[in-house]
Structure 1
Amino acid sequence: MSGVISGFTVIFIVVGAGYLLGRTNTLGEHAHEVLSRLVFFVCTPALLLHSLVTSDLSVVFSSTLVIAGGCASAIGLVYLLIAGPWLRRPIPELTIGALSSSYVNSVNLGLPIAIFVLDDASFIAPLLLFQILIYSPIALTTLDLTALGRQSGTGWRSTLRDAVITPVTNPIVLGGIAGLIISLIGWHPPEAIMKSFDMLGSASVPAALLAFGLSLTGVAVFKKGEAPRRDIALASVLKLVVMPAMVYVVARFGFGETGHQLFAQVVIAALPTAQNVLVYATRYRRGQILARDTALITTLGSIPTIAVIALLLA
């Protein structure tokens, strides 16, 4: 449990620093948007490239990739199937909601917990790869095609062209693809280049957390009449309750996992919504309150959730 407490303490301190910066207006009124764009266009692509280049892909391509990735996709689909006919939101908001319900905070909280609680950082790598190379491209392509004001009536050929071109022009997707290719071909870039990407990538997590703290300034979480409460509640329940339960069933009865391996799978599934979802929402100006409130609620709620999982399975 000390690892869980340590990981959450780090997050709350950095988010708190961002909140204080926002309250004092130290960085100006547009700080949240500027910082989010920095994370989206520079820091996160550098982090993904460096992480994949320095990762052991034999560890990444394992049953954990199938379990974690498959269950995350299933939970996102469940959100769409429920929220679509029930809440009748536009596609961009549904996309942000699906991410909020299933996109795991695999870096700034996942890595500390993998190291201090699971005693093995490799547990988080498969999910990180899935989110980088599969989940994010699908979601970002959807947002690009539906949230950036594409003109209607351009025909199916233009839509098809945009669907093909959009993923390879997104900086986050490009960073992930480049890192995977470099790792697969076995090329070792010069140390100066790798240190540059490492330096920029190291700023991704704290900058995203600071942006999250800035977004909390002057707002009331789950505020009546402003926050989409039903969307937030649905995403939070799916993330904290349904996703860990689904992973347990799939890992235990589908793959026959037991002991520490099973415990690790369920703990990873119980991690809260990643702050990157808020970065995406800010970038496309859709579903920002949904992403912000779900990230905060699931971060707070994941503490007792992981504690219960530890008591039952550790």
Structure 2
Amino acid sequence: MGALTALEKLVPVVLAFGCGVLLARRKVVPADSSRAFADYAFLFAVPCYLFGNIYSSDLGALFDWRAILAYATTAALAVLTVGVLAGLGGVRDPRGVALRIMAGVQVNTAYFAVPVFITLFGNAAPIFPVLLFQVCVLTLVIISIMELGRPERDATAGAGPRLLLRAVGASLVTPVVLACNAGILLNLLSLHVPKAVLDGFSFVGDSASPVALFALGLHLGGSGLTVRGTTREEIGLIAFKCLVFPLMTWAVCATVFGVDGDWLKYLVLIAAMPAPQNLFIFAQRYDVGVDMSASLVIKSSVAALFLLPLWMQWAVHVG
């Protein structure tokens, strides 16, 4: 019943995504307008969501440093694995490598992890430490690589350390990273933010997932999506994200760091979530692998839906 309840909570996801597909296929809304919706989510709605939630959280109560270090170690190993496999597979564009790393290692928290955790544990608080790590570390690395690999930078930004420094600097001032850092800083300093302002951030932030899903639906409504068109690389990335990464998390956290009990359940379940919606947003933002990213978001979500009852049963019975 728990698994069924979790699946029922995903109905709004299907509604927002399906509406985008339907409107694009009927040409009510142009499919190429998906980029404008994705930019709204990336530049405005997602930062509002992150700032409000991070600022309002009890950061001290949320962090088990051994568990988070174990998860970070697993993520680092997964990043290296996906990066090496992408290189061996012939991917030479650093942005393409970054996109594949994001697909294989980052997780969908907004509309998969949250309903699953609320159903199983009564709240989604354990997700936030991983969310902070994902945004402040993994996303920073991804954005740096994306900025580093932008074609228009090649002729103007110089080379070597100077180019890397500019890429990191550009990533640090993106709205997503700024929102996270501002939320952490104001939280730690206990600086007061008026309730009206927080309500405004919450109002805009609540639109992030629906708008991003609508943008994804618009894109796929225009370009189409077929199971037969799934490439071997996509199958490999989906298998890594939905099976290999959570198994790696269990092995590293339990055997190397000695994480057990509730935190072991939390981390393995988080790792088992599908590729993040932001994968498509980043792909459109940096104009790389847009079709592949849209396919991975949807197909990994479908795979996660089939595997979700098994992972949930594992979480209930693991000691």
Kindly indicate whether the alpha-carbon contact (under 8 Å) linking 2:31 and 2:222 is maintained by their aligned counterparts in 1.
Answer: no
Name the CA distance, whole Å, in 2 between partners of 1:212 and 1:72. Answer: 26
Q: How far does the alpha carbon of each residue in 1:254-298 deviate from its partner, in whole angstroms, 9 at most, with x for none?
A: 343444443332211111011111000000010112211111111
Distance 2:218 2:13 in 1: 14
Matches within 5 A, 1:34-183: 34-62=36-64, 63-152=66-155, 154-156=158-160, 158-183=162-187
Q: 1:240 to 1:219 in 2, by over 3 A?
A: same
TM-score if structure 1 supplies the norm length? 0.92
Q: What fraction of aligned residue pairs are identical, expressed as a percent? A: 23
Off by >6 Å, runs of 4+ in structure 1: none
Q: Name the CA shift for 1:262/1:61 in 2 (closer, same or farther; >3 Å).
A: closer
Asked if the contact 2:71–2:253 (Cα under 8 Å) also holds between the matched residues in 1, the reply is: no
Q: Can you list the C-alpha shifts for 1:30-53, whole angstroms capped at 9, x where unaligned?
A: 320100010111111111111110
d(CA) in 2 for partners of 1:148 and 1:43?
27
Runs of at least 5 residues in structure 2 that lack an aligned partner in the other structure:
none
Change (3 A) 1:28 1:222: closer
Distance 1:155-1:251 versus aligned 2 partners, 3 A rule: closer
Task: Give the alignment partner of residue 286 of structure 1, picking from 274, 285, 288.
Answer: 288
More deviation, 293-302/245-254: 245-254
The AA in structure 1 aligned to 2:45 is: C
Range with greater deviation from structure 2 (80-89 or 173-182): 80-89
Q: Output the amino acid matched with 2:128.
A: A
Specify which of 275, 297, 303 is matched with residue 301 of structure 1.
303
Which of residues 7, 17, 21 in structure 2 aligns to 1:5?
A: 7
- Matches of 1:100 and 1:222 in 2, distance apart? 19
Shift, 1:120, TM fit? 2.9
Q: CA deviation at 1:165?
A: 2.0
Closer, same or farther: CA 28–242 of 1 in aligned 2, 3 Å = same
SS in structure 2 of the partner of residue 273 of structure 1? coil
Distance 1:58 1:268, change over 3 A: same
Distance change in 2, residues 1:166/1:43 (3 Å):
same
What residue number does 1:26 align with? 28
- More moved, 41-50 vs 156-165: 156-165
User: In structure 1, how many angstroms separate the alpha carbons of the residues matched to 2:155 and 2:226?
Assistant: 34
* Compared CA separation, residues 112 and 250, structure 1 to 2 (3 A): same
Deviates further, 81-90 or 214-223 = 214-223
Q: What is the alpha-carbon distance in structure 1 between the residues aligned to residue 100 and residue 309 of structure 2?
A: 26
Looking at structure 2, the residues matched to 65 and 207 of structure 1 have their Cα atoms a distance apart, in angstroms, of 30
User: How far apart are 1:152 and its partner, in Å?
Assistant: 3.8
2:89 aligned counterpart, secondary structure: helix
Task: Name the count of aligned residue pairs.
Answer: 312
CA contact (8 A) 1:44 1:204 kept: yes
Which position in structure 2 is the counterpart of 1:188? Answer: 192
Aligned with 1:165: secondary structure?
helix
TM-score normalised per structure 2? 0.90
Q: Which runs of 5+ in 1 are unaligned?
A: none
Of residues 202, 206, 211, the one that matches 1:202 is 206
Distance across 2 between alignment mates of 1:285 and 1:66: 33
